[in-house]
Structure 1
Amino acid sequence: MKTLVAITVLLSVGLAQASAAPILSISGRGLSAASTAEADFLNSVHSGFLTETFDDNSFYSVGVQSTKIVSSTGIGGFSTIEVGYGGLCDSGPYACDSGIAVLNATESPFSGRFAVSGGNWLDSMDARQMDISLAKGFNSIGFYITDPNDAGGRLSVGGVDFEFDNIFGSGQSNGRIFYVSLFDQSGLGDISIFSNNSDDGYGIDNVTVANVTEPGTVSLLVLGLFGIALAVKRRGRG
């Protein structure tokens, strides 16, 4: 089952205003549901989309940490904004404060994160905040996320926060996987992913940026009311 959330306030504004808010879609839990959601997303995109699988070993140095990693396909960059500390990101050759990394099953201190296609994924290395800076000209993004919300967190886009407890369910077990997609008709800006705990993180894979057609106004109305019920909070935290 796929969950859709529109962050809108529809009490006294028109649907045209409501459609300007970002819309978040979350797949059901598990690889089968996540793969179906990815296929649905790719079927909706226009030509000219870009997908990053992190599997180009001639471009990426697997296991090497950096505060910023630029995509090989031009979709944008991924940056550590606030590092984590303690836990498995400080094990072996890794240090939590050295930034994010492209990992594979061999070069990883974690057991709950894994590649969806090929052999590599981008790991947060337990960063408290990681930002995705997208190339301009796209109104949507879709990606797999593995091992989210062991201990809470949130995703923030366009000044709107989506709490992990609301979108994934609280206290997920190790190794869970979902497919996440975001749409904003005005174009997506930077996306921030926060983890509540210093030793909690996630992996992302198969990141696609694209342009898609705006969802219908009837769907927006339903989703907007659902978004109000979730009481998603505006950004006001560091």
Structure 2
Amino acid sequence: MKLALAKQLTGIALASAFSVSVANAAMIDVTVSGPGVAEAEAAETDFLAFLKDTTTETFEGFTAATGSADQTTTINTSVGDFTQLQPGGDYPSEACNDGGFSCAGGLAILNSDTSPFSGRYPMPADADNQNWLDSMDSQQMQFSLASMYTAVGFYLTDPNDVGGIMNILFADQTEGTLDLGAVFDPSLASGSAFYVGIMSDVAISSLTFYTNDENDGFGIDNVTVGTVPEPGTLALLGLGLVGLGVMKRRKSSDTAC
């Protein structure tokens, strides 16, 4: 598979070396904005310009959680289901156990008025945008897309200290792995905002986030799913910085963090 080198989107292009085990393998393009509200918002605008038939979940239609009674293992949304696969925060003093919340209680829709976290917030920066979905320090969280979409984009807040991986499962049962530790620099200030965009010429089934720290998490907002208009679009983009950890392979029976 040949990747042309061209810069078309704002941010860092991460489509790098692939390990492919099928004859007609998918081409995948992953971009991550630079840190900061302005760069993240610009990246979202650029990413959406390439897509059609988009649906965006802003989480504004949900009532924000005020404690553990409002947490749940799975949150069903217009773009798909978000599920806590493994909780984190074993220690009672952790922030996800503050303010009536529980690290083991599942995911939560939060806003700034009720959040136990100081570094996570709604994106984009808009007065009408108040809510986001919080991982509540889950060690494993999965986003299963609602339909056969070939593109997904979203904001992440405070992800720089996750230090884990994001696994991308495709409809053809191949999968890709993005090394989050290589993308989100731990030296960045807490509370940084990023926009992540993923495009493929094969439908994306799910994204699974694995963290290496049980007392760490992130916020996710404005999740958009859609389709790449033409298969050739990815070939024209061909974005790539070698060595940043995206590997494509056949799905195995289990994935280790």
| Post-superposition offset of 1:89 | 0.6
Distance 1:150 1:9, change over 3 A: closer
Alignment of 1:1-238 (within 5 A): 2-9=11-18, 17=24, 20-46=26-52, 48-56=53-61, 59-63=62-66, 64-71=70-77, 74-85=78-89, 86=91, 87-116=94-123, 117=126, 118-158=129-169, 159-213=175-229, 214=231, 215-217=233-235, 219-220=237-238, 223=240, 226-227=241-242, 229-232=243-246, 236-238=255-257
Tell me which amino acid in the other structure corresponds to 2:189: S
Corresponding residue of 2:172 = none
Tell me which amino acid in the other structure corresponds to 2:59: F
| Post-superposition offset of 1:4 | 1.1
Q: Is the partner of 1:149 in helix, strand or coil?
A: coil
Q: Is the 8 A contact 1:148 1:172 kept in 2?
A: no
Distance of 2:183 and 2:72 partners within structure 1: 29
Distance of 2:17 and 2:29 partners within structure 1: 9
Distance of 2:47 and 2:162 partners within structure 1: 28
Higher strand share: 2
| Post-superposition offset of 1:173 | 2.1
Per-residue CA shift, 1:59-83, capped at 9, x if unaligned? 4343321000011xx2111010000
Distance 1:160 1:78, change over 3 A: same
Distance 1:140 1:104, change over 3 A: same
Distance of 1:218 and 1:102 partners within structure 2: 38
| Post-superposition offset of 1:149 | 2.6
Per-residue CA shift, 1:182-234, capped at 9, x if unaligned? 112110111001221111000011111011234343543x62xx34x234456
Distance of 2:189 and 2:168 partners within structure 1: 25
| Post-superposition offset of 1:169 | 2.3
Distance of 1:65 and 1:78 partners within structure 2: 12
| Post-superposition offset of 1:164 | 1.3
Deviates more, 1:209-218 or 1:26-35: 209-218
Distance of 2:245 and 2:149 partners within structure 1: 27
Distance 1:84 1:164, change over 3 A: same
Q: TM-score scaled by structure 1?
A: 0.86
Tell me which amino acid in the other structure corresponds to 1:55: E
Higher helix share: 1
Distance of 2:113 and 2:72 partners within structure 1: 19
Distance 1:231 1:100, change over 3 A: closer
RMSD: 2.4
Distance of 1:192 and 1:151 partners within structure 2: 13
Q: Is the partner of 1:39 in helix, strand or coil?
A: helix
Q: Is the partner of 1:139 in helix, strand or coil?
A: strand
Q: TM-score scaled by structure 2?
A: 0.80
Distance of 1:130 and 1:9 partners within structure 2: 24
- Structure 1 residue runs of 5 or longer lacking an equivalent are none
Tell me which amino acid in the other structure corresponds to 1:4: A
Q: Is the 8 A contact 2:200 2:228 kept in 1?
A: no
- Structure 2 residue runs of 5 or longer lacking an equivalent are 1-9, 170-174
